[in-house]
Amino acid sequence: MEVFMTKRILITGATAGIGRATLDKFYQEGFHILACDINEEEGGKLSDIYGAQVDFIELDVTNGDNWKSLQRYIHDKDYEIDVLFNNAGIFVMNDIATTTEKEYQAMFDINVKGSFLALKYIAPIMYKQENGSIINASSNAAFFGAKGLGIYGATKGAIRTLTKNAAMEFAPYIRVNSIHPGYIQTQMIEYAAQKSNKTPQDQAKYVPLKRLGRPEEIASLVYYLGSEDASYITGSEIVIDGGVSSGQSIWEEEHC
């Protein structure tokens, strides 16, 4: 199969949530996938499910030596990387005053440093190829303030800005864009619901489209940005949040 031999994506945080949905999407489209995650137990199951089309690499995105090893692995395999999805991230929901220094550092290390190291070690491979697309996972929390999202939102704002600078630095050969999901049906939304004493369905009430997003919808956006259909899009921030960041609705249902 020609596509299998020539198209390849590297995904961080690939074993669950949006990362796993993206793995599924690109698998269905015939891509060879480098699935990177710190969760060795879940990662080890991937070959049984997907076969040789998926390579699992245990990766701590905060560890530069891990990234150097991955870079050597790619070189030794003579792989080209067509798409890089920097998806790995964590979410700790706390007020700024009650966020611990350890929580602060963990969010910045995984969310921001992880994206930086991916750019540092993988983007040069793509630049040498003179082709590639990088998608950085940010959040709609990069655009507005909210109680409990202070430090998380700061990390996602940093990714938003890092993306724009990377788009300038790696042009014209690599396109770099950020995506900004809102309430998506993942473990993160379940955690946020528990922390705020709400259900995921309660969260959906704040969404103009009146439902949570599906990980598969985010995966489809990643696929689009990685494809030639998005060949003139770089340095952009794509919001996919059901309208949450558009503002508060002033219309009641009876007006519609």
Catalytic residues: 152
Q: Which residues pair with 56 in a beta bridge?
A: 35
- The three-state secondary structure class of 240 is strand
**124 vs 211: CA distance, rounded Å:** 40
Structure tokens at 90: 């964590």
Q: Tokens 């750019």 map to which residue?
A: 119
> Of how many residues is the chain composed?
256
- Degrees, nearest 5: CA angle 33-212-181: 50
* Per-residue 3-state assignment (H helix, E strand, C coil) for 38-78: CCHHHHCCHHHHHHHHEEEEECCCCCHHHHHHHHHHHHHHC
